[in-house]
Amino acid sequence: MIEVKSVVKQYGRKRVLDNVSLKIEKGKITSFIGPNGAGKSTLLSIISRLIGKDGGQVYLDGELVDGIDCNSFARKLSILRQSNHLNVRLTVRELVSFGRFPYSEGKLRAEDLDHIERALEYTQLKEEADKYLDELSGGQRQRAFIAMVIAQDTEYILLDEPLNNLDVKHSVEIMKILRRLVGELGKTVVIVMHDINFASCYSDYIVAFNKGQIVKEGNVEEIINKDVLEDVYDTNFVVQDIMNRRICFYY
Amino acid sequence: MKKPYLLVILILLSLLSLFIGVRKVSFLDVLKLENAAIRTMVLSRIPRLISLILAGMGMSISGLIMQQLSQNKFVSPTTAGTIDSAQLGILFSLIIFPAASPLVKMLLSFFFALTGSFLFMFILRKIKLKNTVIIPLIGIMMASIIGSISNFFAYRYNLVQSLSSWMQGNFSMVIKGRYELLYISVPLVILAYFYTNQFTIAGMGEDFAFNLGLNYKTIVNMGISIVALISSLVVITVGRIPFLGLIIPNLISIYYGDNLRKNIIPTALAGAVFLLFSDILSRIIIYPYEIPISLTVGILGSIIFLYLLFRRKA
Amino acid sequence: MKTKQRIYILSAALLILVLLYLLLGLNPFIWRYALSLRIPKTIALLLVASSIAFSSTVFQTLTNNRILTPSVLGLDSLYLFIQSLIVFLFGSSTLARLGENFNFILSVGLMVAFSLLLFQLLFKREERNIFFLLLVGLVMGTFFQSLSTFMQVLIDPNEFLVIQNRMFASFNNMNTEILWLALIISFLAVLFTLKDLKNLDILSLGRENAINLGVDYDFVVKKFLVLISILVSVSTALVGPITFLGLLVVNLARELLRTFRHKYLIVGAILIASIALTFGQLIAERLLNFSTPISIIINFIGGLYFIFLLLKESKI
C-alpha cells in the first residue's frame, strides 16, 4: 500500500499540493483526475521521488520512501512520465532491456532475458523488437515504454497521462494491457488521466483533485456522478449508464 | 519617469569624461579658448566621447533587437556569433586587402557579421528544445568556434597581434579621423526605433507575423542587418565590447517592462551611460595608464549578468 | 560485432602511430636521448587525449546533448585565473619556489572546490537545470578571463614574460614536469567513479528515466562533474585549453561505432583522440617543423565539424 500523509509542495508562494493525504490500495487501478494544475502529476512525481516535497511523508508498504535506497526503490516502484523524448537512438529491445537495470546492473542474465521477452509479448511488440524507436508510431512507442516498465517488474506502476496524444485504438490497447497487469500479475497501477470516461471504464478507484487538494475519492459510482464532477471541473455534466458503464457528457 | 535621470547622468558623465586624461585640461582653459586645450578636446576627448556614446547606444539597441527577434532574453551580438564573425571579416580584409580603407574593411566585416548572424538564426529555428538557456549556450559555442577559425588564420598569416588588438575593445586609440565611421550607426538606431513593433511581432514567429499581415522574412532580415552593421562598425572602430548588448536591455526591462516602444530610448541612454562609466573607471583605476575597456566591461558585465541569471531563477 | 572490430582497427592504428612517433628518425647515436624526450611526451599526449575524450563523453551524457563540451563550464579560464592570481599576489619567484607539482595540486584542488561550490549552489535549487549551471559556468569563465587579463596588465611586463610559458602550455611546450602526478591523479579520479560507469548508459535516457531505474541521480551527477573538473584540470595544466577536441572525438566515436553503450563509446573516443593527437604531433614536429601549433589546427577542424553537425542534425 502507498500511504501519503499531509504532503505539501509549493513553488515560491504558490501551493501546488496542500496537505494531501491518501491511501492507495494494492492490486487495483487507481486514477487521479482533475483539472489542469490540480496537483495530480506533482503528487505522482513526489511519490516516485522525481521531485522533492516541502512537507509530509510518503510510505511504501509501511516504510518511509525517503529512507529506501535508490536500487531497492526501483525494484518496487516504477514511474513513466508523459514526455519520453530520448536523445539516444535505441531499438525497442534495447529500451526494454534497460528495465532490467535495477536487477542486472547492465549485465543481462538468462532470467533478465526471460523478463524482457515476456514484456515484449505482453505489449505485442515482438515483431517490432529490433526496430528503432523513431521508426515506430506514437502508440507503439508508448507501448515500448510500458514494456520497459513491465520488464522492471515492480509491484507498483505509476503512469503520468499514458494516453496523451494517442488515438482511440491505441488508448484502448494500452488500458487493456494495464488492466491485465492488475488482473493477471497482481500489480498496483496508479494513473493520471485526462479522459474521464477512460478513468470511469478502467479504474477500480478514483481520486479527484482540485487546487492542490483532494476533493473526493472513492469507487467509480461514488466519483463519476454529476455533483462530484461539476464540483471538481466547474463545468456542466450529464452522467449516464451505458452498457453497465458510467459515461459522462460535458460538451 | 526615469528617463530624465538617465539623461542627466549621461550629461554629467560626458563632462567628466571630457576632463579626465593624462593631459590636464581644465574647464577654464577651454573657456579661454586656449589652443592646446582646444586641440586636445577636438582631436582626442570629443571623438572619444562621441564614439563611446554611439557605441554604447548601438550595441545595446542591437542586443534589444536580437532579443526581440529570438524571443530570448539571453541573446545578443556576443552570444550569437555576430561579433566574432565581424572579427573574422576584419581578419580576412587584413589578409586579402591589407591596404584597404576602413570602409572596405567595414564592408567585409559587415558581410561576415551578417552571415554569422543568419547562421545563428537558421540554427535557432532548427532547435527543438527551446530552453531559454540552451539557445545562448549554442550561440556562445558558435561564437567560440568562429573565434577559433579566426585564430587559425591569424596564426597562419602572423596576424595574432593585430587580431588581439581588435579582440580588446579600447577607446584610447580613438582620435579624430579614426572614428567617423561610427556615425553610420545613427540612422540605423533611428530606423530601429521606427520598426520596434514589427520586431516584436516577428519574434512571436512566422505564423504569428503572417497572421497579422507582416512579411516575416523582410522584418527579420532587416533586424539582423541592422545588428550586423552596427556590430561591425563598433568592432572596426573600437573593438569588441562584451555583454553590453546583453545586460543593458535586461536591466531596462526590469524597470520598464517589456514594451519595446517604451524601452528603446532608455536602453540606448543606459547603454551609453554604462559604457561611459566603464571607460572613466578604466582610465582612473591605474592612472596615468589605462585598462582596455573590454576588461572593465567584462568584469562588471559578468557580475551583472550573473545577478540577472539568478534573479530570473528566483 | 562490427563495433568491436572497429575498436580493434582503431587500436591497431594507434599502436602504429605511437611506434612511428617514437622510432622515426632514430639513429644509433642519439636514440637514448631522443627516446628520453619522446617517451614522456607520448605518455602526456595519450593522457591528455584520454582525459579529454573521457570527460567530454561523460559530459555529453550528463547534459543529454551532443554539441557541448566541458569547456563551457569555464574551468580552463579558472585555471589561468589561479595561475595569474598566484603571480599577481606573490610574484613569479614564488611560483617557481612552490614547484610545478605543488602548483598543480593547488590548482586542481581549487578547481574542484570551485566546481563543488557551484554545483552545491545550483543543485540546492528546486529546478535543477543543468543548462543553467552551464550558463553560469560560462559567464564565470568570461569573468575569470577578464580578471586574469586585468592582473596580467598590472603585472610587471618582464615578470609576465617569465610566467607566460607556464601559463600557456601547448603541445610543443608541454608541462611534463607534472606528468607523473597528473597520471596518478587522473587514475585515482577514474578509479573513484569506476563503479558508477555502468550508470552512464542509463543516464543517457534522461533524469526521470534514470531515477525510475534506480540511479541516485543527483549524487552520481555530482560525482561525475567532479571527475570532469579533475580531468579538465589535468589536460589544461599539461597542454592548455583545447576546446573542441572533445566535441570532435565524441561525435566521431558515435558516428563510427553507432552504439549508445558507453563501454564502447568511451574507449572509442579515447582511441580517436589519441590517434588525432599523435598524428597531429607527428605532422607538426616532423613535417611542419613546429610551424602551426596543433591545438589551433584541432580547434579549427573541431569547429568546422561542429558547424557541420549543427547544420546536418534535423533536431538538436
User: Of the candidates B151, B295, B309, which has its C-beta nearest C149's C-beta?
Assistant: B295
Question: Which chain B residue lies closest to C291 (C-alpha atoms)?
Answer: B156
In a domain? residue C12: yes
Q: What is the pLDDT of residue B314?
A: 47
Question: Which chain A residue lies closest to C200 (C-alpha atoms)?
Answer: A106
In a domain? residue C251: yes
Mean local confidence (pLDDT), C259-263: 88
What are the DSSP calls for chain B, one per residue? --HHHHHHHHHHHHHHHHT-SSS---HHHHHTT-HHHHHHIIIIIHHHHHHHHHHHHHHHHHHHHHHHHHT-TT--SGGGTHHHHHHHHHHHHHHH-TT--HHHHHHHHHHHHHHHHHHHHHHHHH-S---TTHHHHHHHHHHHHHHHHHHHHHHHTT-HHHHHHHHS--STT--TTSSGGGGGHHHHHHHHHHTHHHHHHHHT-HHHHHHTT--HHHHHHHHHHHHHHHHHHHHHHT----SHHHHHHHHHHHHHTT-HHHHHHHHHHHHHHHHHHHHHHHHHTTTTS---HHHHHHHHHHHHHHHHHHHHH-
Q: What is the pLDDT of residue C287?
A: 74
> Which of C61, C213, C220, C258 is the best residue to mutate to test the A interface, defined by the most A CB atoms within 10 Å of its own CB?
C213
Question: Which chain A residue lies closest to C255 (C-alpha atoms)?
Answer: A89
Mean local confidence (pLDDT), C272-293: 80
Question: Which chain C residue lies closest to A153 (C-alpha atoms)?
Answer: C213
C42-76: pLDDT as tens digits: 898 899 999 999 999 998 888 887 777 887 777 87
Percent of chain C at pLDDT > 90 equals: 15
Q: What is the pLDDT of residue A120?
A: 93
Mean local confidence (pLDDT), C220-242: 84
Question: Which chain C residue lies closest to B297 (C-alpha atoms)?
Answer: C146
User: Of the candidates A50, A84, A102, which has its C-beta nearest C213's C-beta?
Assistant: A102
Which chain C residues are Cβ-neighbours of B136 within 8 angstroms?
135
Q: How far is B298 from chain C (nearest CA, A)?
A: 6
In a domain? residue C37: yes
- Whole-angstrom Cα distance, residue B8 to residue B14? 10
Mean local confidence (pLDDT), C277-294: 75
Which position has the higher pLDDT, C163 or C276?
C276
Q: How far is B34 from chain C (nearest CA, A)?
A: 35
In a domain? residue C168: yes
Q: Is B216 on the interface with C (CB under 8 A)?
A: no
The single-letter code of the amino acid at B129 is L
Q: Is the pLDDT of residue C315 over 60?
A: no
List, for chain B, all residue ranges whose pLDDT scores fall below the cut of 50: 1, 314
**CATH number of the CATH domain containing C122:** 1.10.3470.10
Interface contact C216-A70, CB threshold 8 A: yes
Interface contact C205-A11, CB threshold 8 A: no
Q: How far is C209 from chain A (nearest CA, A)?
A: 8
In a domain? residue C290: yes
User: Of the candidates C146, C293, C315, which has its C-beta nearest B299's C-beta?
Assistant: C146
DSSP 8-class letter at A36: T
A160-180: pLDDT as tens digits: 998 887 888 889 988 999 999
> Which of C132, C144, C313 is the best residue to mutate to test the B interface, defined by the most B CB atoms within 10 Å of its own CB?
C132
- Could you tell me the sign of the dihedral formed by the alpha carbons of B215, B221, B226, B231, in that order? positive
Q: Is A52 on the interface with C (CB under 8 A)?
A: yes
Which chain B residues are Cβ-neighbours of C246 within 8 angstroms?
none
Q: How far is C162 from chain A (nearest CA, A)?
A: 47
Interface contact A80-C212, CB threshold 8 A: yes
- Other C-beta atoms lying within 10 Å of the C-beta of residue B72: 22
- Whole-angstrom Cα distance, residue B226 to residue B214? 18
**Mean pLDDT score across all residues of chain A:** 90
Predicted confidence band of residue A58 (pLDDT cuts 50, 70, 90)? very high
Interface of C with A in 218-257 (CB under 8 A): none
Q: What is the pLDDT of residue B1?
A: 47
Strands (E) located in chain C: none
Interface contact C307-B119, CB threshold 8 A: yes
Predicted confidence band of residue C27 (pLDDT cuts 50, 70, 90)? confident
Q: Is the pLDDT of residue A5 over 90?
A: yes
Q: Is B140 on the interface with C (CB under 8 A)?
A: yes
C134-159: pLDDT as tens digits: 777 778 888 888 888 777 777 776 77
Helices and strands (H, E) in chain C, number of each type: 14, 0
In a domain? residue C299: yes
Number of domains in chain C: 1
ipTM above threshold 0.90: no
- Whole-angstrom Cα distance, residue A74 to residue A80? 12
Residue-number span of the structural domain to which C59 is assigned? 3-21+33-315
Q: Is the pLDDT of residue C314 over 60?
A: no
Question: Which chain B residue lies closest to C127 (C-alpha atoms)?
Answer: B313
In a domain? residue C28: no
Percent of chain A at pLDDT > 70 equals: 99
Q: What is the pLDDT of residue A203?
A: 93
Which position has the higher pLDDT, B40 or C114?
C114
In a domain? residue C26: no
Which chain C residues are Cβ-neighbours of A78 within 8 angstroms?
212
User: Of the candidates C132, C139, C292, which has its C-beta nearest B155's C-beta?
Assistant: C292
Q: Is the pLDDT of residue C10 over 50?
A: yes
Q: Is C126 on the interface with B (CB under 8 A)?
A: no
Q: What is the pLDDT of residue B3?
A: 59
Residue C308 CB contacts under 8 Å (≥ 6 apart), including other chains: none
Predicted confidence band of residue C303 (pLDDT cuts 50, 70, 90)? confident
Q: What is the pLDDT of residue A21?
A: 93
